[in-house]
Amino acid sequence: MKFATLADSSLDGRLLLVSRDLQQACDASDLAPHLLHAVQHWTAVAPALQQRYDDLNAARVKGAFALAPEQLLAPLPRSPQWCDGSAFLNHGRLMERAFNTPPIPEFDTVPVMYQGASDDFLGPCADVPLPSEADGIDFEGEFGVVLDEVSLGTPAEQALDRVRLLVQINDWSLRALGPREMKSGFGFLQAKPSSSFAPVAITPDELGPHWHNGRVHLSLQVHWNQQWFGHPHGREMNFGFHELIAHAARTRRLSAGTIIGSGTVSNVQRDVGSSCIAERRVIELLDHGEIRTGFMRFGDRVRMEACAPEGGSGPFGVIDQRVIAKSRGA
């Protein structure tokens, strides 16, 4: 199934089902008012949602309408918890060099993860207001999973059974603020503004063979101001989502609606480009002895779309956003 959230006057929006080709949508709020409710009551509501989804794809739903991404919120505009990993070790090692920080202990064997804000996720076309260009505005393309309840101590071998949805994320970062917060030992706060999401959340079966071994086997196409920036592939994720979920649940129960992120998609092969600016900058420093790329400026746009080798529209739709200056008094 594929889901989206229509903006209305509520905090959680209105639940939509989206056709497999992302062209049509229909209201599903009579079955579940919003996506968080659907995830929290999955066993009860999934069969009826599946039936309507099948009817939508067969053009049997009255009142279906063209999907308009600019009218959508993030699939989950807010969630009980957002935990972001750093499962692509190539990215982590490059960031150690970028920030001149010592190697993280057991980095190759124990996943790295921080808990971010989950109360104000941004939709796929929303402008991104930020306080200052001097903060080092950067995008970070990644994948994520939305979970049903996960029991404390759930092992990795059972963790994927708790995955209800897959999502595509732009985890915004303010790089000038990151080093101080990393060195504090308390983790990110100011360096991590609200994350953005592609318009559509999907059940894992929608990816077919591209969902394998707890990894999204798609390339993430990234364009900055209409210029190609990278297309790294999700298959090089060193820790699968099952391992990230087990890590997060080692000492606590995860409530339904928790989102776990993969961290920045990053490949060892450099000609595939990057999905964040900081990574390109450190590669420039290593290869040329100088940084040649600045961070984002107000008015800049970033576009992200996960694509399969066979082409066609990405299963999550497109993130296409503009960075703007925070207005006075906002």
| H/E run at residue 2 | strand 2-6
Query: Is the alpha carbon torsion for 33, 53, 218, 40 positive or negative?
Result: positive
Lowest mean pLDDT: which of 7-21, 94-108, 182-196, 201-215? 94-108
Q: Using an 8 Å Cβ cutoff, are 301 and 321 in contact?
A: yes
User: What percentage of the chain carries pLDDT values higher than 90?
Assistant: 83
Contacts of 206 (CB under 8 A, 6+ apart): 1, 2, 20, 166, 315
Reading the block at residue 138, the tokens are 């950067």
For residue 226, pLDDT beyond 70? yes
Q: Could you write out the DSSP letters of every residue in 142-197?
A: EEEEEES-B-TT--HHHHGGGEEEEEEEE--EETTTHHHHHHHTS--STT----EE
Residue 189: predicted pLDDT: 80
**What ranges do the domains of the chain cover?**
2-71, 74-325
Q: Which residue has the higher pLDDT, 282 or 225?
A: 225
| H/E run at residue 279 | helix 277-288
For 158-171, how does the pLDDT look when each residue is reduced to its tens digit (9 = 90+)? 999 999 999 999 99
Cα angle for residues 159, 162, 167 (degrees, 5° grid): 105
User: What percentage of the chain carries pLDDT values higher than 70?
Assistant: 97
Confidence of residue 313 (pLDDT cuts 50, 70, 90): confident
For residue 60, pLDDT beyond 80? yes
Conformational region of residue 289, where left means phi above 0, alpha means psi within -120 to 50, and beta covers everything else = left
> Count of alpha carbons within 13 Å of 284, Cβ hemisphere only?
11
For 267-278, how does the pLDDT look when each residue is reduced to its tens digit (9 = 90+)? 999 999 999 999
Residue range 243-252: average pLDDT? 98
Rg, Å, the chain Cα set: 19
Residue 96: predicted pLDDT: 75
Cα angle for residues 193, 197, 198 (degrees, 5° grid): 150
For residue 205, pLDDT beyond 90? yes
The C-alpha atoms of residue 247 and residue 152 are separated, in whole angstroms, by 10
Residue 123: predicted pLDDT: 98
DSSP 276: B
Residue 224: predicted pLDDT: 98
Residue range 306-325: average pLDDT? 89
For 49-59, how does the pLDDT look when each residue is reduced to its tens digit (9 = 90+)? 999 999 999 99
DSSP 140: B
For residue 106, pLDDT beyond 90? no
Kindly report the length of the chain: 330
Confidence of residue 91 (pLDDT cuts 50, 70, 90): confident
User: Strand, helix or coil at 56?
Assistant: helix
Reading the block at residue 266, the tokens are 């990053």
Q: Using an 8 Å Cβ cutoff, are 129 and 241 in contact?
A: no
pTM: 0.95
**Fold for the domain defined by 74-325:** Fumarylacetoacetate hydrolase; domain 2 (3.90.850)
Q: Which residue has the higher pLDDT, 185 or 257?
A: 257
Q: Strands, DSSP E only, in 171-279?
A: 173-174, 196-197, 201-202, 211-212, 215-216, 219-224, 227-230, 259-261
Q: Could you write out the DSSP letters of every residue in 6-52?
A: E--SSSS-EEEEE-TTSSEEEE-TTT-SSHHHHHHTHHHHHHHHHHH
Lowest mean pLDDT: which of 3-12, 185-194, 219-228, 255-264? 185-194
Residue 310: predicted pLDDT: 67
Residue 329: predicted pLDDT: 60
Cα angle for residues 48, 150, 36 (degrees, 5° grid): 45
Amino acid at 250: R
For residue 330, pLDDT beyond 70? no
Lowest mean pLDDT: which of 63-67, 180-184, 265-269, 304-308? 180-184
Residue 38: predicted pLDDT: 98
Q: Using an 8 Å Cβ cutoff, are 115 and 82 in contact?
A: yes
For residue 17, pLDDT beyond 70? yes
How confident is the prediction for the chain on average, in pLDDT? Answer: 94
Residue range 144-170: average pLDDT? 98
For residue 93, pLDDT beyond 90? no
